[in-house]
Structure 1
């Protein structure tokens, strides 16, 4: 991903006629190599954090992409969208109940059980307040979502909405703020 170290190594090797192994520990060139390595590590860590943060929205887009493809790339009615939102919100319920059953009485909840409980409660709260998803009622947006290949940059071209449990639809921006 980050190539600072390789570029720096190449420049130092060119300056030293290909002999990079004979560097003094505190020389300028060794410090340049060290700082390039630190920079590459930092950039990789930031990229990994970003990928981890973006993963739930990509999974959400894939879920609704499958719905659109099953429907033949046609726009959906609000009732069908609400049913699929309900399915998405409660997708972890079975696993949560299974983990809850395996726990012995009187024992504290496992980390996995706590995580699933937090996921379900956060999705339920979002569903009440306004569930964030691509607009599936517009033909052009449905066609775009159908061609979604899994990249974050593609999601910016889609129109997004928030649909509450009461059925109100509000247009929204991408990327979401506060999700």
Structure 2
């Protein structure tokens, strides 16, 4: 959380012996307060955009962390990793079918149905071309992933790979480029 406004308000109050309410509308101090407020709003908007953009990768890491913990924090075989990827790719299928069933015949698809369809197709395309995930076949990496607490910065220490549906494994870096 940005604190520019709080600091500016405190400095102005100190200068005016605690009376910040008696500012003229176009004074330097009121303009300074306004600039600080605008800056705080802008920084909060940028931070919210970043959190929204990073949320899918954090959810992906949490999903595979849960898969590792189910396995007793041991490395997974390639077939088990492929099964977990398949489970992740098809996580929205039930919801999509339910939304599709509730739609009356002859009506256009709802926004939610279109969104789910796009998510499913994007995940299937990514799975076919190379699914981006933490490397679950290396024991040291699995131990790192098991200690993941939900922060973006921790994921940089975990090794990531792209695993295609054919079984090709390519090392990758974090954060991903073009995902």
Matches within 5 A, 1:30-179: 30-179=30-179
Aligned length: 179
The aligned counterpart of 2:2 is 2
Provide TM-score, normalisation by structure 1.
0.99
* Structure 2: stretches of 5+ with no match in the other structure: none
Q: What are the superposed Cα offsets for residues 86-109 of structure 1, whole Å, 9 maximum, x if unpaired?
A: 000000001001100110111010
List structure 1 runs of 4+ shifted beyond 4 angstroms: none
CA distance in 2, matches of 1:74, 1:14: 58
* Deviation at residue 51 of structure 1 after TM alignment: 0.4
| Structure 2 residue matching 1:104: 3-state secondary structure | coil
CA distance in 1, matches of 2:68, 2:59: 14
| Structure 1 residue matching 2:22: 3-state secondary structure | coil
* Deviation at residue 79 of structure 1 after TM alignment: 0.4
Structural RMSD (CA): 0.4
The aligned counterpart of 2:27 is 27
CA distance in 2, matches of 1:171, 1:29: 54
* Deviation at residue 165 of structure 1 after TM alignment: 0.5
Q: What are the superposed Cα offsets for residues 35-63 of structure 1, whole Å, 9 maximum, x if unpaired?
A: 10000000000000000000000000010
* Deviation at residue 132 of structure 1 after TM alignment: 0.2
Provide TM-score, normalisation by structure 2.
0.99
Q: What are the superposed Cα offsets for residues 5-53 of structure 1, whole Å, 9 maximum, x if unpaired?
A: 0000001011111110000000000000001000000000000000000
